[in-house]
Structures are given as structure tokens and as C-alpha cells.
């Protein structure tokens, strides 16, 4: 028979109770309904047991409130997100951030049983019109809210999901900005790359932007490339992981960290052939680092990353986006003056981000390739509809271009 544990006064401790030797504080350790390990502290045993009793009461009351349909949306979301053990850590963190930032303090306090379809629709319009959210951001919020309501439906707390069909209604409104990322034109792409390559301040960014525009890789995939992922002999690139930069959950200082994100399945791994320009960019980067020092970063045991900043570390995606903004602002200012002197229309660069470079590559690819499955394989779009949307947009532009050529050559009218 196991010997009963006791505190320093000889009193028997119950299951889950303990006393720390360093400061003699009492601790009660328990597992919450979602499998998370939690702790309660007290300076004396009596207070600790009062807290234990209150905890039990709160847990029972919480479940009673939920079963009665009187729980608020926040309670149901916390219950839902705690069941998503299959989510990547970065996805989990993003979902919690979106909910806490846009839902929890206002809409999240409403009782789940009282929320109707029109309430969700009004809330979404509030986010678009008052908070100025783009549709793609709203879709992420919907991705979190819809299954939260669905959990309550399956638990028989509510009869129907009030968020069903809301996004379709939002998108019906004519003239609505859907947050579609448009690719750079060929002229804009050349202007951006030529200006970067010939500018003494920004020229060292050229290899990175060349690889982004020449592979269609996501920014996390490209900054996460290691030299061992490159096969110079066969001129191929293995995309087998991504590097993400995200805020640590629960960190009081809001500290952000790098982490390697691995694909869930083998389908997430792909091999991309190197274009000649991409091959040259990697070789150029290697020679520069050979002289100045290689990337010294270690992330989750991985080392030997291809691209690095001036401190020898992996690039922060936000820094890359800020650099793009600096480049285009500098270019546009010079281009306006130059075009005025040359008495022509300036080639203005629109505001864009790293992801627009991926979209630009896909657009250039669609202009040359007609096999949708090949395009999807290179881009690794999870849904072929994404590939089809870009291909359709390119096809529409091609139709206009073809009709223009026809108009110039069709001399029968």
C-alpha cells in the first residue's frame, strides 16, 4: 500500500495536492476538461482546498450553463478550439489571434442561443465597413466562427448554424472589394527588378526577389530554404518545410519567434525546377556569403539556411514586406520625375507584398502553361479552384490582348 503524502506539519495531502520545498507553498494540479494541465497555488492548505471546491463548482456550473444554452460565444469557441489538436501550431495561434482580436471583446459576449443569421451578417458588415477588414481576413474569422457554431449544433445547444450562408451573402454585394491579390504586369515586374538590381541600397535583395518571382514559393518556404535543399546538378529545389514567425501564445512580452513548420502529409512536399535566373541567384548568394559569412541561424535543429540578413540571421517576413514598400516608394518618386523629363507616362508600381510575387509568378506561368494540374503541382494550391481563378483571370486578359491584335490585322471592315 502506497504511503500517504504529508505536508511539513504532518497533514495528509489529497490526490493532486503537493507542497513545494523551496517556498512551502501548496499546489493543486489538475487536468481541465480539454486535457490541459493546470495549477492552483495557496500559502496554506485551508485556502488551497477552498480554491479546489470553488474550481469544482465553477466547472459544474459552466457545463450546466452550456447545456442550458446560456453560455456565451466565447465559452463555445474556447471549447471548440481546445478540441483542435490536429492543427499546426501556427494555424492554431492564428485562429486564436483572429478570434481574440476581432470577436471576443464584443460579439463573443453574446449568448450562443440568441445569435441569429442576421446578427452574424450585421457583425460581418461591421467588420468590413467599420473595421475596414478585407474579405480574405473576414473569411479567416468565418473559418473559426462557423465550426464553433456547428459544435453547438451537434451538442444540441442550438438547432441551426446562424453563420450558414453568410459569406455567400456578403460576396453577392456588387462592387465589394474581395481582397483579391493582383499580379504585377510584365512591365511592372521588370521595373521592380531592374530598379532593385541597380540601386546601391537595395541591390543585395535581388537574389531573394529573383527566387520569389522565379519559383512562386511562399515567403516562409523561401526564407526556410537550406543549401541542402538545392540540387545544383539537376537544377531542382526541394520545398519540404517552411519557416514561420509568430507571437508566442501567452507570452507577456508578446515575443515572436521563428519555428519550422512541416507539411502534414507527403503531398505538401514538392520539387521545383530552377529557372536559369534562379540558378544564377543562388550562385550569387553563395559567393556573397562565402566572402561575408554564412547564415548562422538554428531553428528547431535546422541550420544552413540560404538567405540571411546583415546580422547573419533568417529574414523576418515583415522586414521583407517593409523593404518592398521602401523600394516601390523610392522607385515611384524617381520614376515620376524621370517620366516628366522624358515626356511620357510613368510606370508606377502599386503597393504589394511578398505574396503578390507568388501570385505574379503564377500569372506568368499561366500565360505560358495550359495544363491546370501542372500549375497546381508547382504552386501547391490546396484547392484547384485557386489555380482556376488565376488561370481564368489570365485568360480574360489574353482575350483582350488577342482581340486587340485581331483588330489591328483584321482589315476587312
pLDDT classification of 137: cutoffs 50, 70, 90: confident
406 part of a folded domain = no
165 and 211 part of one domain: no
Quick one: average pLDDT of 217-245?
93
Quick one: average pLDDT of 361-376?
73
Is 60 exceeded by the pLDDT of residue 412? no
Q: How far apart are CA 181 and CA 54, in angstroms?
A: 52
Give percent of the chain with pLDDT exceeding 90: 44
Taking a C-beta distance cutoff of 8 angstroms, is the pair 289, 295 a contact?
Answer: yes
335 and 237 part of one domain: yes
79 and 157 part of one domain: yes
369 part of a folded domain = yes
Is 60 exceeded by the pLDDT of residue 191? yes
According to the model, what pLDDT value does residue 35 have?
62
3-state helix, strand, coil in the chain (%, to 5): 55, 10, 35
Q: Which of 29, 52, 67 is the last residue of a domain?
A: 67
Quick one: average pLDDT of 75-84?
89
Quick one: average pLDDT of 376-397?
61
85 and 38 part of one domain: no
According to the model, what pLDDT value does residue 183 have?
82
Q: What is the dihedral of CA 219, 224, 225, 227, to 10 degrees?
A: 150
77 and 147 part of one domain: yes
178 part of a folded domain = no
Is 70 exceeded by the pLDDT of residue 407? no
192 and 307 part of one domain: yes
Quick one: average pLDDT of 165-191?
75
According to the model, what pLDDT value does residue 136 have?
79
Q: Identify the CA nearest to 111 among candidates 162, 165, 60.
A: 162
411 part of a folded domain = no
pLDDT classification of 170: cutoffs 50, 70, 90: confident
Question: 169 or 67, which is more confident?
Answer: 169
Query: Model confidence over 349-362: pLDDT tens digits?
Result: 999 999 889 888 88
- Find the domain containing 104 and state its range: 73-172
26 and 61 part of one domain: yes
According to the model, what pLDDT value does residue 179 have?
46
According to the model, what pLDDT value does residue 91 have?
78
Q: How far apart are CA 244 and CA 300, in angstroms?
A: 11
375 part of a folded domain = yes
How many CA atoms within 13 Å lie on the side-chain side of 299? 23
320 part of a folded domain = yes
Is 80 exceeded by the pLDDT of residue 171? no
| DSSP per residue, 79-120 | HHHTT-TTS-HHHHHHHHHHHHHHTTTTGGGSBGGG--HHHH
242 and 365 part of one domain: yes
Q: Which of 119, 146, 172 is the last residue of a domain?
A: 172
Is 50 exceeded by the pLDDT of residue 1? no
According to the model, what pLDDT value does residue 343 have?
92
22 and 128 part of one domain: no
Q: Which of 5, 34, 67 is the last residue of a domain?
A: 67
Question: 175 or 57, which is more confident?
Answer: 57
Is 80 exceeded by the pLDDT of residue 28? yes
Domains in the chain, number: 3
Residues forming beta bridges with residue 40, ordered by sequence position = 28
pLDDT classification of 397: cutoffs 50, 70, 90: low
219 and 364 part of one domain: yes
According to the model, what pLDDT value does residue 176 have?
45
63 and 80 part of one domain: no
Q: Identify the CA nearest to 315 among candidates 228, 254, 239, 245.
A: 245
According to the model, what pLDDT value does residue 387 have?
59
Q: What is the overall mean pLDDT for the chain?
A: 83
According to the model, what pLDDT value does residue 287 have?
93
Query: Model confidence over 307-331: pLDDT tens digits?
Result: 998 888 899 999 999 999 999 999 9
According to the model, what pLDDT value does residue 18 have?
92
Specify the CATH number for the domain of residue 332.
1.10.443.10
According to the model, what pLDDT value does residue 398 have?
62
192 and 167 part of one domain: no
According to the model, what pLDDT value does residue 379 have?
63
Amino acid at each position: 500500500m502506497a504511503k500517504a503524502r504529508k505536508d511539513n506539519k504532518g497533514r495528509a495531502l489529497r490526490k493532486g495536492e503537493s507542497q513545494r520545498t523551496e517556498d512551502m507553498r501548496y499546489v493543486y494540479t489538475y487536468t481541465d476538461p480539454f486535457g490541459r494541465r493546470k495549477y492552483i497555488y495557496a500559502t496554506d492548505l485551508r485556502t488551497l482546498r477552498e480554491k479546489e471546491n470553488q474550481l469544482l463548482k465553477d466547472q459544474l456550473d459552466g457545463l450546466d450553463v452550456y447545456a442550458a444554452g446560456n453560455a456565451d460565444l466565447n465559452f463555445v469557441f474556447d471549447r471548440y478550439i481546445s478540441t483542435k489538436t490536429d492543427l499546426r501550431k501556427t494555424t492554431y495561434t492564428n485562429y486564436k489571434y483572429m478570434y481574440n482580436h476581432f470577436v471576443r471583446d464584443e460579439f463573443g459576449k453574446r449568448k450562443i442561443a440568441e445569435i441569429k443569421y442576421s446578427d452574424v451578417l450585421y457583425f460581418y458588415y461591421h467588420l468590413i465597413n467599420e473595421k475596414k477588414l478585407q474579405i480574405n481576413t473576414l473569411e479567416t474569422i468565418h473559418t473559426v466562427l462557423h465550426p464553433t457554431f456547428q459544435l453547438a449544433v451537434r451538442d444540441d445547444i442550438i438547432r441551426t448554424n446562424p453563420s450558414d450562408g453568410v459569406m455567400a451573402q456578403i460576396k453577392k454585394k456588387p462592387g465589394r472589394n474581395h481582397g483579391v491579390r493582383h499580379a504585377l504586369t510584365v512591365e511592372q515586374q521588370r521595373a521592380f527588378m531592374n530598379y532593385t538590381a541597380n540601386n546601391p541600397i537595395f541591390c543585395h535583395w535581388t537574389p531573394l526577389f529573383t527566387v520569389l518571382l522565379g519559383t512562386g514559393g511562399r515567403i516562409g518556404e523561401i526564407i526556410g530554404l537550406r543549401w541542402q535543399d538545392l540540387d545544383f546538378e539537376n537544377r531542382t529545389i526541394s520545398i519540404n518545410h517552411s519557416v514561420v514567425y509568430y507571437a508566442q501564445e501567452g507570452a507577456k512580452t508578446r515575443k515572436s519567434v521563428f519555428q519550422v513548420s512541416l507539411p502534414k502529409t507527403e503531398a505538401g512536399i514538392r520539387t521545383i525546377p530552377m529557372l536559369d535566373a534562379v540558378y544564377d541567384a543562388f550562385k550569387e548568394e553563395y559567393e556573397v556569403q562565402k566572402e561575408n559569412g554564412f547564415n548562422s541561424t538554428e531553428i528547431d535543429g535546422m541550420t544552413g539556411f540560404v538567405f540571411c540578413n546583415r546580422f547573419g540571421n533568417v529574414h523576418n517576413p515583415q522586414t521583407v514586406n517593409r523593404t518592398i514598400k521602401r523600394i516601390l516608394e523610392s522607385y515611384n518618386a524617381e520614376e515620376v520625375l524621370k517620366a516628366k523629363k522624358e515626356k511620357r507616362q510613368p510606370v508606377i508600381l502599386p503597393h504589394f507584398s511578398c505574396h503578390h510575387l507568388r501570385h505574379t509568378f503564377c500569372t506568368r506561368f499561366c500565360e505560358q502553361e495550359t495544363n491546370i494540374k501542372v500549375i497546381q503541382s508547382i504552386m501547391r494550391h490546396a484547392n484547384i479552384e485557386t489555380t482556376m481563378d488565376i488561370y481564368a483571370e489570365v485568360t480574360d486578359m489574353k482575350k483582350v490582348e488577342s482581340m486587340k491584335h485581331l483588330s489591328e490585322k483584321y482589315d476587312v471592315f
